Chains A and B, each alone.
Chain A
Amino acid sequence: MNRKPAQETGNKLWCVGCMVITVVLFFTVSAQAMSGRDVYEKVHQVRSRMLDRKTEASMALFDKGGGKRTRTLTEYSKKADPEAYKVLVVFNSPPDLKGVGFLMYAHTFADRDLWAYFPEYRRIRRIPVTSQDDSFFGSDFSYDDFGGPPNLDDYKFSILREDNFDGKPCYVVEVTPKIRRKYTRYVAWVAKDLWIHLKIDYYQDKEIYRAGVFRNIRIVDGIATPFKLDMENRKTGHRTELTVESIKYHTNFPDELFTQRSLERGGR
């Protein structure tokens, strides 16, 4: 009699053990089964959700001598079906730059048109798509950083390792463009639960030339949003700090906001 309960207890333990192992194995296997592409599919989903928004932000530019210049800007974006999106960025200050604007019109995630507007010239200027990795109006961000998610087919992804950044578990993914870009690859720390970038290093061959860190993550309208974005150009020692002052999602702006005429009028 006494042996029975003990045996039963042993069996139960065995079953629990098996279940634990199964569960652990399940999660391990499922985690290992996640590819770099899978990670970026999720990143893509989150970034797509971010597209419909209005952001008020301030941008501080630090040169290597410690000099600081600040400016404020408003960013509007809109997602359009099935995958196209539109982005309008307008500078509000300083007075010298008021009205300077940038418009991105993505017909698809792979095909975008970019324009810039400078009020003192009263002239809209086209920015070649090949300049998408160039500096966004003198900052250390690129035009591409202000765009929507990339076309995943244009890249190769591979998970390098798992890591923690700012106390958050991350996938460290190496992303290599299939087409010619200014960088040869980038390595991104993607938060496992939020599917957003926490850190990103852009490489030119073996050297990091641009490095970004995204902090102060808050959930706004159910979307994880970094409120502090730092980007540094390692070659020049120049650094740009973008602070989100306010953000509102699901804005559903009218299409008229994303036209060249609107660009000329500073988003009005």
Chain B
Amino acid sequence: MSIANLLRHISSKHVRFQKAQTFMSIAGICLGVAAIVSIGIVNKSILRSFEDSFINSTGRAALQVTGAQSGFPEAILEKVQTVPGVEYAVPVVETDGLLSKGKERSMMILGVDVLVDSQVRSYSLAEEDADIPDPLLFLAKPDSILVTRTMADREGIKIDQKIAVETVQGTREFRVRGILNPEGPAKVMGGNLALMDIYAAQLAFGKEGRIDRVDVSLLRGEKLETVKQRIEAALPAGYTVETPIGRTRQIESMLSNFQTGLDLVSFFAIIVGMYLIYNAVSISIVRRRKEIGILRALGATRGQVMRLFLGETLFISIIASALGVGLGILFAESIVGILGKIISQMYVRTAVTGISITWQYPVLGIVCGVVASLAAAVLPVLAGSRISPVSAIRSVPWSEEGFLTGRRLNTASATCILLAAAVFCLYRYADWTPLFRSTSFLFSSQLFLLLGMSLFMPTFLKGFISLFHRLPLLRHNSMGMLAGLNLRKNLNRNAVAVAAIFFGISVFVNSAGYVHSSKESVMTWLDAVVRADIIVSDGHPSSSTNAQTVPMPLDMWQDIEKVPGVLSADPWRKLYMDYNGNRVLLSIIDMVRRAEYSHFMVTKGDEKKLLGQLARRDNVVVSEPFASRFRVGPGDTITLPTPTGLVRFGVSAVVVDYLYDNGTVYLDLDTFQRHWGDKLADQFSVRVKPGENIVQVRDAIQKKLGGNRKLFVLPVQEFKDEIRKTMDQTFIFNYALSVVTMAIACFGIIVTLLASVLERTREIGILRSIGMLRRQVSGVVVLESILMGIAGGILGCLAGIVTGWINLEGAFRANYSSAAEYFIPYGSILWALIMSAGLSALAGIYPARRAAKTDVVEALTYE
């Protein structure tokens, strides 16, 4: 008997006759693989879009010099130009713009010295790369702007047309002097780009005398590393000299937490898929026990039986994985835009327009699908291979208390739970090595916990059914009794289906707890620090920490204070900067004015002395994530890069802050202006005079200042509501994960119940022949399903609370040292229980209908 023959004659028959079961197994693995492939492709596509943008926007530039986000003096350009080995050094101003009319689309505005820029970038204003009727007019007029053909086509923009763009000076009209063909820089950000002469861009966006970047090309034969070192030596400290690809790596590092989170979604999905495979193979083995016995009696070895079942699994998993790859590509296409938008809101502007498929993720998906399926099948296959030929042929009931049940299972469960605790303790306290501080390490703690609790499932289910039988309501109810007995009959198999539900619910409650606690912590913090009555901002409140804003002139606070009813207005400025290779947020406020009505949530340091230490002094306050990441506290000093070089600042306190997870540094406005020379603001906090109507004052501000600029003037409650909505958006993938895992778990219940119904054909026939009605038969099956759902739901909720706490503790306390408090999501738990019972009931309908349709005569002759 060769394996090929066995597969051809035996396995193919089962696949044909158990279509529903085969379909469910394929669907489970297919979804898991689809999650891996889609998330992998989307992650790669987003990074690829950054890489393309950098390469397209840098042209021949081999190196890029960057400094503080506020820009740096033009004199730096001259220093770079004179470095030996530098062929060209060209300045760039890079900023965000917003089309004021139409769809109010945001775009990147690139200001370049068009007289020089063609030396580095592959375009020229008078060549065929662009349609610019009068390049001299473009150069001579500060209101000139070029748009890409992609943007012109999309927005219906024509040459010589005026477009309104949000600038620092308010809404300004620019004349489109030409259209860039989609080559070189015009491909940046998916063509969502406008090009201006650098001096026009400086005027419009409040960057007079400053530039954001210097792009450097090298003389032929010069070594990149040598010139890089020479430039670094020629510049004051605090400037970054990096290759364009190196900048992609910076982005990659910035997005790593977010992308790891996404990877976890796919990992969870494949784990639930493994439950499904485990279940399907177990059921198959139980149902084909007699066949296994005959094969063994005919001389098949245990190895051959194992290979037969593993071969079947391999075959199914290959088909499922291949389908999963296709589905994953479709998923990727549909979610790439949403993900790009979230990354733009939370981190850095991206314009990922499509997916880029490489062989890497489809192959990874197939390998994961196949390996996970085989791994899930190993245990039931091992159990199947141990079936004795005699007992199988005589139809002696197969003991459920076999291979991995009872005491062994409980011991394994306890070991896994202890391991989970040990791993978490290492993560939480042994922070001397980066290995223990990785997200995957924390994740493994959760995984051990879930695995341990899954192994405990048969014992739990047994106890649950006993408890169920004791309920007075069900003690005399035959349907309830039958359902309980049926569940107990195939305890191990049912436990796996329950474990799948358990897993899905635990992921749901975990997410809900994490999201709820995160939101509560952030809102508590927001209530403490945002004490103004009205917030005036240059961008949507959701953009409070991202880059898609056009700042306002700092002295606008004076105009706001002139509005009747306004008590005070004080500015807030935000800038991102590079600190020790990490992107951190510099948050600038007027300490004296802010102290009148708002305070920091100080965790380390003396709050009473804070104002004296910060106002007009070279001292800063750092957030908990910053303090934790860079190991600083009150009394320490940090050196920050400013446009004029490195400056040392004393750390006065550590505060709770959720503005930016990489870390925030708070600085007094006066100190900031002294070192940075920046006179812009991103937001104004406005207090209203006592007794004044906030809405009326809001309207008055909007009327006075919103005429020539796009201004968001929101009463503070609306502002907080907007922040809450934005947070909900950022957790969209947590919700998606719950949906995927629950869907796969439902497949598990359907497969289990279908197998159970088929197995009990004769029993159902007998029950029908002694007078049981069809609806009673289906009622029993649905009740079984509901019981499984509730059992999985209860344990899932417990596990979800624990893993949610681990998540929060890990992500906030250990990783960012933030004082986030865990809130049990009672509402979500109630939902989870209703959902587990409800979805299970739904999943039970199809097997119940199959059971109800059982023909009595055929069933009684069923062997």
Chain B residues with CB below 8 A from A35, complex form? none
Set of chain B residues within 8 Å of A131, measured between Cβ atoms: 115-116, 118-119
Q: How far is the CA of A71 from the CA of B138 in the complex (A)?
A: 15
A253 → chain B closest CB, angstroms: 25
Rounded to whole Å, the gap between the CB of A127 and the closest CB of chain B is 5
User: Which of A134-142, A154-162, A186-194, A257-265 interfaces with chain B?
Assistant: A134-142
Mask for B190-223, Cβ within 8 A of A = 1, else 0? 0000000001100100000000000000000000
Q: Mark each residue of chain A from 51 to 76: 1 if its CB lies under 8 Å from any CB of chain B, else 0.
A: 00000000001010001010100000
Residues of A within 8 A of B138 (CB): 138
- Pick from B88, B125, B132, B134: contact of A128, CB below 8 A: B88
Contacting residues, chain B, for A96 (C-beta < 8 A): 137, 140-141
> Bound complex: CA of A136 vs CA of B86, how far in Å?
26
Residue in B closest to A117 when the chains form the complex, CB atoms = B140
A3 an interface residue at 8 Å Cβ cutoff? no
Cβ contacts A79-101/B at 8 Å (1 or 0 each): 00000000000010000110010
Question: Is residue B335 within 8 Å, beta carbon to beta carbon, of the partner chain?
Answer: no
Contacts of B139 in A (CB 8 A): 100, 116, 118, 137-138
Min C-beta distance of A82 to chain B, whole Å: 29
Interface-side segment among A38-46, A163-171, A233-241, A244-252: A233-241
Q: Please, which residue of chain B has its CB at the minimum distance from the CB of A98?
A: B140
Assembled-state Cα–Cα distance A91/B199 (Å): 20
A residues near B126, Cβ cutoff 8 Å: 134-135, 138, 140, 233, 236, 238
Decide if A236 touches B116 in the complex (CB within 8 Å): no
Report the nearest B residue to A127, measured CB to CB.
Answer: B115
User: At the interface, yes or no: B135 with Cβ under 8 Å from chain A?
Assistant: yes
Report A113 CB to chain B, min CB distance, Å.
13
Of B119, B140, B199, B200, the residue contacting A130 (CB under 8 A) is B119
Q: Are B115 and A116 in contact (CB under 8 A)?
A: yes
Does A4 sit at the interface, judged by CB under 8 A? no
Contacts of A91 in B (CB 8 A): 136
Are A128 and B135 in contact (CB-based, < 8 A)?
no
Residues of B within 8 A of A116 (CB): 115, 139
Are A137 and B128 interface neighbours, CB within 8 A?
no
Q: In the complex where A120-B142, A128-B88, A131-B116 touch, is A138 in contact with B125 (Cβ < 8 A)? A: yes
Contact B136 A125 (CB under 8 A): no
* B662 interface hit (Cβ, 8 Å): no
Query: Is A121 within 8 A of B199, CB to CB?
Result: yes
Q: B563 → chain A, closest Cβ, in Å?
A: 34
Q: Is the CB of B140 within 8 A of A135?
A: no
**In the complex, what distance in Å separates the CA atom of A130 from the CA atom of B115?**
11
Partner of B140, one of A67, A97, A139, A233: A97
A268 contact set on B, CB distance < 8 A:
none
Contact B133 A137 (CB under 8 A): no
Q: Are A137 and B136 in contact (CB under 8 A)?
A: yes
Determine if A134 and B118 form an interchain contact, defined as CB atoms under 8 angstroms apart: yes
Interface residue B127 (Cβ < 8 Å from any Cβ of A): yes
Contact A236 B127 (CB under 8 A): yes
Partner of A121, one of B116, B133, B142: B142
Please name all residues of chain B whose beta carbon is closer than 8 Å to the beta carbon of A97 when the two chains form the complex.
136-137, 140
- A127/B116 in contact, CB under 8 A: yes
Chain B 110-153 residues near chain A, CB threshold 8 A: 113, 115-116, 118-119, 124-128, 132-142
Give the interface size bracket for A toward B: 20 to 34
B614 to chain A, nearest CB (A): 39
Asked if B135 contacts A138 (CB within 8 A), the reply is yes
Q: Residues of B contacting A100 with CB < 8 Å?
A: 136, 139-140
Which A97-156 residues sit within 8 Å CB-CB of chain B?
97, 100, 116, 118-121, 123, 125, 127-128, 130-131, 134-135, 137-140
| Nearest B-chain residue to A125, judged by Cβ | B115
Among A96, A123, A140, chain B packs the most CB atoms within 10 A around the CB of A96
Interface size class of B (residues with CB under 8 A): 20 to 34
Among B118, B135, B136, chain A packs the most CB atoms within 10 A around the CB of B136
Q: Please give, as numbers and ranges, the residues of chain A lying within 8 Å of B128 by CB-CB distance.
A: 235-236
Q: How far is the CA of A102 from the CA of B136 in the complex (A)?
A: 12
| Nearest CB in chain A: distance from B455 CB, A | 72
Residues of B within 8 A of A134 (CB): 115, 118, 124, 126
Instruction: Check B124 against A67 for contact (C-beta < 8 Å).
Output: no
Q: Which residue of B lies closest to A180 (CB)?
A: B220
Let me know if B133 and A63 touch, CB within 8 A.
Answer: yes
Which chain A residues lie closer than 8 Å to B137 at the CB level? Answer: 96-97, 138
**Is there contact, CB below 8 Å, between A135 and B199?**
no
Please, how many angstroms separate the alpha-carbon atoms of A110 and B118 in the complex? 22
Question: What is the distance, in angstroms, from B176's C-beta to the closest C-beta of chain A?
Answer: 15
Min CB distance A201 to B, Å, is 18
Report B-chain residues with C-beta under 8 Å of the C-beta of A69. 133-134
Which residue of chain B has its CB nearest to the CB of A143?
B115
Complex Cα distance, B128 from A61, in Å, reads 16
When chains A and B are docked, how far (Å) is the Cα of A61 from the Cα of B88?
31
Q: In the bound complex, how far is the Cα of B164 from the Cα of A78, in angstroms?
A: 46
Map CB proximity to A onto B820-843 as digits: 1 under 8 Å, 0 otherwise: 000000000000000000000000
Nearest chain A CB to B205 CB, angstrom units: 15
Which residues of chain B come closer than 8 Å to A67, judged between CB atoms? Answer: 133
How far, in whole Å, are A40 and B126 apart by their CA atoms in the complex? Answer: 30
Cα A138 to Cα B200 with chains together (Å): 18
Chain B nearest CB, measured from A203 CB (Å)? 16
B199 (CB) vs chain A CBs: closest residue: A121
Structural contact, B136 and A138, CB atoms closer than 8 A: yes
Cβ distance A163 to chain B, nearest Cβ, rounded Å? 30
Closest chain-A Cβ to B660's Cβ sits at a distance in Å of 36
Report the bound CA distance from A119 to B140 in whole Å: 7
User: Is there contact, CB below 8 Å, between A120 and B113?
Assistant: no
How far apart sit A245 and B121, CA to CA, in the bound complex (Å)? 38
Cα of A104 to Cα of B552 in the assembled complex, Å:
40
In the complex, the answer to whether B88 meets A135 with C-beta atoms within 8 Å is no
Q: Bound complex: CA of A63 vs CA of B136, how far in Å?
A: 14
Q: Would you call B140 and A120 a contact (CB within 8 A)? A: yes
Q: Which of B133, B134, B135, B199 contacts A123 (CB 8 A)?
A: B199
Q: Is the CB of B142 within 8 A of A135?
A: no
Contact between B140 and A235 (Cβ–Cβ < 8 Å)?
no
Q: How far is the CA of A116 from the CA of B113 in the complex (A)?
A: 12
B140 adjacent to A118 (CB under 8 Å): yes
* Cα distance A100–B134 in the bound complex, in angstroms: 14
A138→B134 CA distance, assembly (Å) = 6
Smallest Cβ distance from B675 to chain A, in angstroms? 26
Taking a contact as CB atoms under 8 Å apart, the answer to whether B125 and A135 are in contact is yes
Q: Which residues from A are CB-within-8-Å of B113?
A: 125
**Residue on B nearest A135 in the bound complex, by CB:** B126
Which A residues are in CB contact (< 8 Å) with B199?
118, 121, 123, 125
Q: B117: nearest residue on chain A (CB-CB)? A: A131
Chain A residues, Cβ within 8 Å of B127: 233, 235-236
Q: How far is the CA of A50 from the CA of B598 in the complex (A)?
A: 75
Cα separation A97 to B137 with both chains bound (whole Å): 7
Instruction: Indicate if the CB atoms of A128 and B119 lie closer than 8 Å.
Output: yes
Closest CB-CB distance, B336 to chain A, in whole Å?
Answer: 37
* CB-nearest residue of chain A to B198: A125
Query: What is the CA–CA distance of A61 and B137 in the complex, to the nearest angstrom?
Result: 12
Name the distance in Å between A93's Cβ and chain B's nearest Cβ: 12
Question: What B residues does A125 contact at CB under 8 A?
Answer: 113, 115, 199
26 contacts between A and B (CB under 8 A): A61-B134, A71-B136, A96-B140, A96-B141, A116-B115, A116-B139, A120-B140, A121-B142, A121-B200, A127-B116, A128-B88, A128-B115, A130-B119, A131-B115, A131-B116, A131-B118, A134-B115, A135-B126, A137-B136, A137-B139, A138-B132, A138-B135, A138-B136, A139-B136, A233-B126, A236-B127
Give the 5 A-B CB pairs with smallest separation, nearest first. Answer: A138-B135, A135-B126, A138-B136, A137-B136, A118-B140
5 extra interface residue pairs, beta carbon distance < 8 Å, beyond A128-B115, A138-B138? A97-B140, A134-B124, A138-B139, A233-B126, A235-B128
* B interface, CB within 8 angstroms of A: 88, 113, 115-116, 118-119, 124-128, 132-142, 199-200, 203
